[in-house]
Amino acid sequence: MLQTTLVNLSMNRPRWVFFGVLLLTVIAGLQIPSIKVDTDPENMLPADNAARVFHDHVKERFGLHDMIVVGVVNDSAGGIYNQQSLSELQQLSDAIVQMDGVVSQDLMSLDRVDNISQEGPGTIRFEWMMKQVPTDQAGIDQIRTSVERLPLLNNTLVSGDGKAAGIYIPITQKSESYRISGLIQTEISKLSGNNQYYISGLPVAEDTFGVEMFIQMAISAPLAGLMIFILMWVFFRSFLLITAPMLVAMGSVIITMGLLIGQGYTVHIMSSMIPIFLMPIAVVDSVHILSEFADRYRPGEDPKVALKEVLGHLFTPMLYTSVTSAVGFASLAFTPIPPVQIFGLHVAFGIMLAFVLTITLVPAYIISLSPKRMAQMKDHNIDEDDNSFLGRLLIFTGRFSIARAKGLLVLFVLIVVGSAYGVAQIQINDNPVRWFKPDHPLRVADRVMNHHFPGTYNAFLVLDKTGDLRSGLEQSLQTRAAKEGVELQQKLDSVTAESFIEYTNALINLFDQLSYDDSDHETLWLDLLDMTEKAQINSKYFLTPDAMTYLDGLQTFLDDSEYVGKSNGLPTLLKTVYRELQGGAADQYRLPSTAAAAAQTVLSFQGSHRPNDLWHMVTPDYRSTVLWLQLSSGDNQDMNRVLKLVDGYVADHPLPEGVKLNWAGLTYINVVWQDEMVNGMLNSLMGAFFMVLLIMILLFRSVKIGLLSMLPLTVTILFIYGLIGLSGKDYDMPIAVLSALTLGLSVDFAIHFLERTRAIYRECGSWEQTVAEVYKGPSRAISRNAVVVAIGFTPLLFAPLVPYITVGFFLATIMAVSAVVTVMLLPAVMEMIKDKDSLFGVKPGIKESIHD
């Protein structure tokens, strides 16, 4: 049998075991330096996810980049409209434009955008808004007047109150934003004025999180190790004894992380917590072995005998607790979120590895100890006195549970009902910026910027006009040509172009040339040319009054809603340029009345310094357009409200024929993966629940005890999630992941408790005596382990990043609650079950054999 083989190997060949484990650890350890951290929430979705593919496609089609937003704030009465503030702004933007990784031509700042203005009657002027900072206040006030006249700039480049200006910095790579924001910070520190500067934007938040996460890992994981070490020393007072569990923990962590990194996976937020999850779980089993071995071993005896006995006794429960914990984590593979899958599967692997190391490395370690050291081990009184505080507390608890069984059951039913109510109150929400503490510079920047501006979170509403244009045109061209007996197919085939606009351009050039070269059919070619030009004009859908009017209506509706700060789109640009062409009066702020007028309005705009800004709003074929929505909140709930708003609007005002509406933008992507996560988590929780139940039934070979063992964790999960619902804490990514973990961890206590209870009952046959026994040994071990694991997670509470604190707090709570529920609820329920013999499977004449 595997068990015997492993145990014999480790006892007879301890060196092999040491060497083998060391070798594995070194190989795995060598992988770790090639670690790649990934905090891009986009990667929460698989690369082929439809929403993500669309988002990427939108970015490409409209030349949109992720943006860092630098806020320049001056709270004095005149705001940023003073020479010093503006000079600093220009100095900063000049420096930023030179930075590598910045898409300099698309950078938006007061000194890099155009002003369209009236210069006397009938004269329009395109010029830089602020090529140089004016030396007089009148010039500066003129800039303010100009900005406030231009809807695309007002409240985007300078806030409505004039106190804040924004520099919008598109970057080529999101993963560069931490580096670039560092460079910007350096430039800011060179400035010496009265402005305050804030760096914000989702890319910075995400990338900064990655960097801080790395630091966090480097601090928290060793700290957790230290905590566990200290705690075990408090319990066992023997470095000799606790060296073995520490070796198991370190081995498990290093090999698991090495495996993850070695396979080329990136370390995501969840995966970065693997060491912290694994360490407490890994030491628990070794503690069981050492405790029991120290109890049974008598100096002078062959340690192998005692060791075999201990391992024989503990192997099955250890295997099962490991398997159930692993199943709990592995169930995360059912969520459609790749980083969570990787996390779950690797923790599951780590737990099983810790089990294998425990039953090989620990025996090998004990065997290798000299008799003198072995004797030292005995000197430490491992098994605490029944008179210790914990001992007395537990004995009291046992008596209380039995005596007040009914009352306790009622209490637990009430808790379950209350928790169920709490679960119903759960608010599903997330926002990567909130992964930082409220006093983090990024959170501060977020607050300040969204106070002054209509919003620094971006969502993109994309409208695509669909339909096959080419075959219709080809058919009418051929019909026309056939009238004159001209075969057109070959000529049409000679023209190859992807987009309709390029295709028609090529045809137009072809027919133009033919009308010149083939003067016999001049009329035909000119007719075909005319038909093609008409088809081309008609294809430019997002210049037509119908399309623009619809879009304009949608924009007005969104701008009036409380969740959208501001929207920018092609109608905004058209109306602005049209107004200036028509003399600049406010009542001229409207859409051109025909498609040709719109096209010429656009052409006028293209005579500016930044003609390409147009292509961030519409594609060159005018078949797709995008509205840029500035949201003041990045909360998924708020984004969801915006989605609902638009759905409602589209229901009341149906989209024009053939127009499709879709969403893009990081704020939207976050909503998508959260939805997937919530549903996926439910699946994985249900899956894990039934897997664990099945394992329990198999382990105990009893449906009743199997169900009983699920009771503490069910109550615990309900309680924890009820608490989250009632406390108003958002159900976010870390909370979602916790559900499956709770299941895997809290069933451990039930296994140990029920296993020992049944064994003791089968030996003594008396329920009263069983309860008394259980509350001395097993309960104490459970409580001690709960404390070890719970405290092992506490370094997370001191983390600077909120998800770690959340996970740390709830894991500690889960441990505590499930330990309490186990030692109080289980005896009370068993007390209520009359036929104990049937429950524990005691049949006359059949000898108990589970531990052999």
| Nearer Cβ to other proteins (104/316) | 104
Listed ranges 228-236, 593-601, 755-763, 788-796: which one lies at the site for other proteins (CB under 8 A)? 593-601
Listed ranges 23-31, 158-166, 426-434, 610-618: which one lies at the site for other proteins (CB under 8 A)? 610-618
Q: Is 34 exposed, middle or buried (0-12, 13-18, 19+ CB in 10 A)?
A: exposed
Listed ranges 34-42, 197-205, 213-221, 529-537: which one lies at the site for other proteins (CB under 8 A)? 529-537
Shortest distance in whole angstroms from residue 539 CB to other proteins: 11
| First-to-final CA distance of the chain | 12
Contact 287, 232 (CB under 8 A): yes
Rounded alpha-carbon distances, angstroms, from residue 349 to 260, 505, 828: 10, 60, 35
| Nearer Cβ to other proteins (25/536) | 536
Site mask, other proteins, residues 181-200, x = CB under 8 A?
A: --------------------
Listed ranges 274-282, 385-393, 461-469, 496-504: which one lies at the site for other proteins (CB under 8 A)? 496-504
| Nearer Cβ to other proteins (104/478) | 104
Of the candidates 420, 603, 698, 833, which one interacts with other proteins according to CB under 8 A? 603
How do strand 624-631 and strand 566-568 relate by DSSP bridges? antiparallel
φ/ψ (deg, to 5) at 329: -70, -40
| Nearer Cβ to other proteins (93/331) | 93
Q: How far apart are CA 275 and CA 249, in angstroms?
A: 9
Q: How far apart are CA 467 and CA 476, in angstroms?
A: 17
| Nearer Cβ to other proteins (351/602) | 602
Listed ranges 7-15, 19-27, 32-40, 594-602: which one lies at the site for other proteins (CB under 8 A)? 594-602
Order of strands, sheet of 659-664, starting from the edge strand that comes earlier in the sequence: 566-568, 624-631, 457-465, 659-664
Of the candidates 415, 597, 693, 797, which one interacts with other proteins according to CB under 8 A? 597
| Nearer Cβ to other proteins (9/99) | 99
595 contributes a contact to other proteins by CB under 8 A:
yes
| H/E stretch holding 567 | strand 566-568
Site mask, other proteins, residues 498-527, x = CB under 8 A?
A: -x-xx--x--xx------x-----------
Residues paired with 625 in a beta bridge = 463, 618
Shortest distance in whole angstroms from residue 56 CB to other proteins: 13
Contact 316, 809 (CB under 8 A): no
Where in 530-589 is the site for other proteins (CB under 8 A)?
533-534, 536-537, 540, 543, 578, 581-582
Contact 788, 280 (CB under 8 A): yes
Where in 36-65 is the site for other proteins (CB under 8 A)?
60, 63
**Residue 136 DSSP SS3:** coil
Q: How far apart are CA 571 and CA 552, in angstroms?
A: 6
| Nearer Cβ to other proteins (427/505) | 505
Shortest distance in whole angstroms from residue 513 CB to other proteins: 10
| Nearer Cβ to other proteins (355/578) | 578
| Nearer Cβ to other proteins (383/533) | 533
606 contributes a contact to other proteins by CB under 8 A:
yes
Site mask, other proteins, residues 774-813, x = CB under 8 A?
A: ----------------------------------------
Shortest distance in whole angstroms from residue 668 CB to other proteins: 23
Chain centroid, CA 253 distance in Å: 23
Return the C-alpha torsion angle 386, 391, 392, 397, nearest 10. Answer: -130
Q: What are 43's two structure tokens? A: 């990667």
Where in 398-417 is the site for other proteins (CB under 8 A)?
none
User: How does DSSP classify residue 271?
Assistant: G
Contact 574, 602 (CB under 8 A): yes
Contact 7, 308 (CB under 8 A): yes
Of the candidates 8, 76, 132, 556, which one interacts with other proteins according to CB under 8 A? 132
Residues paired with 626 in a beta bridge = 462
| Nearer Cβ to other proteins (140/364) | 140
Q: Where are the alpha helices (DSSP H) in 237-368?
A: 239-262, 274-296, 303-330, 338-368
Q: How far apart are CA 473 and CA 156, in angstroms?
A: 42
Site mask, other proteins, residues 89-128, x = CB under 8 A?
A: ---------x-----xx--------x----x--xxxxxxx
Of the candidates 166, 454, 592, 725, which one interacts with other proteins according to CB under 8 A? 592
Shortest distance in whole angstroms from residue 535 CB to other proteins: 10
Of the candidates 615, 679, 703, 765, which one interacts with other proteins according to CB under 8 A? 615
Assign 3-class secondary structure to 602-658: HHHHCCCCCHHHHHHCECCCCCEEEEEEEECCCCHHHHHHHHHHHHHHHHHCCCCCC
Rounded alpha-carbon distances, angstroms, from residue 314 to 290, 308, 850: 11, 10, 11
Q: How far apart are CA 301 and CA 331, in angstroms?
A: 45
Of the candidates 608, 624, 632, 785, which one interacts with other proteins according to CB under 8 A? 608
Shortest distance in whole angstroms from residue 519 CB to other proteins: 11
Residue type, 563: Y
Listed ranges 45-53, 495-503, 631-639, 805-813: which one lies at the site for other proteins (CB under 8 A)? 495-503
Contact 357, 710 (CB under 8 A): no
Report the interface residues with other proteins, using CB under 8 A: 60, 63, 98, 104-105, 114, 119, 122-128, 131-132, 499, 501-502, 505, 508-509, 516, 533-534, 536-537, 540, 543, 578, 581-582, 592, 594-601, 603-604, 606-609, 611-612, 614-615, 619-620
